[in-house]
Chains A and B, each alone.
Chain A
Amino acid sequence: MIKLTDVKKRFGDLEVLKGISITINDGEIYGIIGQSGAGKSTLLRCINGLESYDGGTITVDNELVSIADQQKLHLMQKKMGMIFQNFNLLNRLNVYDNVALPMKFWGMKTKTPEAKEKILGLLRLVGLEDKVDARPAELSGGQKQRVAIARALVLDPEILLCDEATSALDPAITRGILSLLQEINEKMGITIIVVTHQMEVVKQICQRVSFLKDGTVLAEGKPEELFIRPIKEVKTFLQEESGLLPEKGVNIQLFFTDKSSDPIITMMARELGIDFSICWGKLEDFRSNVFGSLVINVDEKDKEKVLDYLTAENVAWEVL
């Protein structure tokens, strides 16, 4: 478990983190989303001690992350693999040696049969077993990031930190990398922290997410809840257009954020014996579940009936 309590950090006069408290559970894929300058990358670097912090505490499995105790920090860094926006591979090493590099830092042999098996196994996992001898310059962006992922896993970490890992990749490649991260999370039980400014990344793989703005957490929760029915602060953050709605009648927004499969719209029309039109809607993919919201327009006289029905059926709603 990673626990951040009131973490503060400043660069000179600039307060980058203004008291961040987040708890990330084991085995979770946790997103930290925010625009550039929100402090999200700094926060990530504080977790593995690449950056120091000025106030509060960060603990990983109840052990304090602190640059004061270099020896302990060193051991803790072994538990945390990291991948980066620009992949950060060594140009003069081939794929095998890039993946093996962290082992060298820990004085491990990298050419023994066991080491070979491990490194080749990781390259198989990321789908690059045929690129063992290639240099980074011969690889595409997506392939480079796959090498970086294999490298980040070579020390058997418990946590994988991803710093804008897909921001330099195009959408199709991004999906591939995200499903690889998901596979790693499921197969190996590795906790993954994803820092990004891309909403799609969070929607596709994160179980929980924090919105970071100006060094504070705006909101925290499940992505489907935060994106589909955003609180006011998040709404301004998302800057979403709400669509043009009819001026006649009553507009009711229905939210679908759990896996209920009842055909609620047609059921309601049949049971209440009324007509209404669907005038706006948005459905999105969240970790392979489809969630979203619909806006229906009903006659003023049917308003109470409809709202009572929706409440009885446990559908979240809002009159616009």
Chain B
Amino acid sequence: MITRRAFLTGSISVTMLGSPIFSAFAEKRKKRNLVVISLRGGMDGLSAVPPIDRALEKFRPDVIVKNTLPLTSDFSLHPSLKNFHSAWKQGNAAIVHAASIPYTERSHFEGQDLMESGGHKPFAEYTGWLGRGMETAGLDGLAIALPMPLILRSKANLDNYYPTKLSTPSPEIMKRVSATYPQNSNLKSTIERVMMRPYSTLSGRGSRKAHRLAGTAAKALAMPDGPRVAVFDINGFDTHAAQGGSNGEHGDKLYNLDKIFGKLRENLGTSFNDTLIVTLTEFGRKIEQNGGNGTEHGYGTAVLLMGGLVKEAKVFSDWPGLKRKNMFEGQDLQATIDARSIYCSSMAMAFDTDFEKLKRQVFWNDPLVNLQDKLFGI
């Protein structure tokens, strides 16, 4: 369930796209999976992947992350991200730092609209970049969500799946209801889709908990004729207060994220090698902490990449540094990379579709950079 409220509740949903999970047809192309994890509320890149820089301690004496995991000589990793770290050690994880979608106004509602639509003006687009990308690549979709999340919306009609807590009627009732729908109608084809599913996916359906859905999603992604795209949604990164350092609110959210990384990896099996997991957020957080030991809305942040399709364990960045004069508006980590370049490159690689074509049809031919050679090893 995608909701924009309750950034503090830490609720989660998952969405999957690709070829229909409940019907079988063989993919002709080599199947590569793309998983996008939306970190709602504004993920603090300086907490997830802190630069090794004394200046940071000066700006954030009470929210500094200790006991970090080692990455490079310049960056370390939040200790909650253990699964990510183990993938890093095997060359299966990378980071793009000081990146952001091109949005600097600090509103969650605008920012989340834009991170999903990929557009320039809040609320101006009614479709999402992933939906348009899948449409461009000619892929069918299945969303694991009840209302279609904006990021996946496109002109195409998508299949969906989301466990209900209501009881589903018997197949006999469905059959009789179905008989009232005209042939060749949208209703008819939809109910037929429902009735083709194993009844176990309709009745007494299971948990909506993050890691459970992640496990289910990963198993489906691992199937040769399963979906190829999944989208997860984690709320709660809006840590204005008691953000904490190694422990604390932000650490907990990163732990939730890492749990999903772990569940995906575990359940993907060998398909992990053909998978790219990438994170998305509306903005980073201010460099300086606030009076409540939290951080305010900022700009530049880190994008985490994980999976066998990642080229090498590396932090990609045109690092702007933490000097006041290099900050955005004198207070934020500057974003030196348009995060949409990462997403466009990710789709080009995972959907085996021309980067330029995606750039044109999904991102209005904005000056995005093709990062495929740098980020992915195929």
Q: Indicate whether A and B interact.
A: no
Q: Which residues of B contact A (CB under 8 A)?
A: none
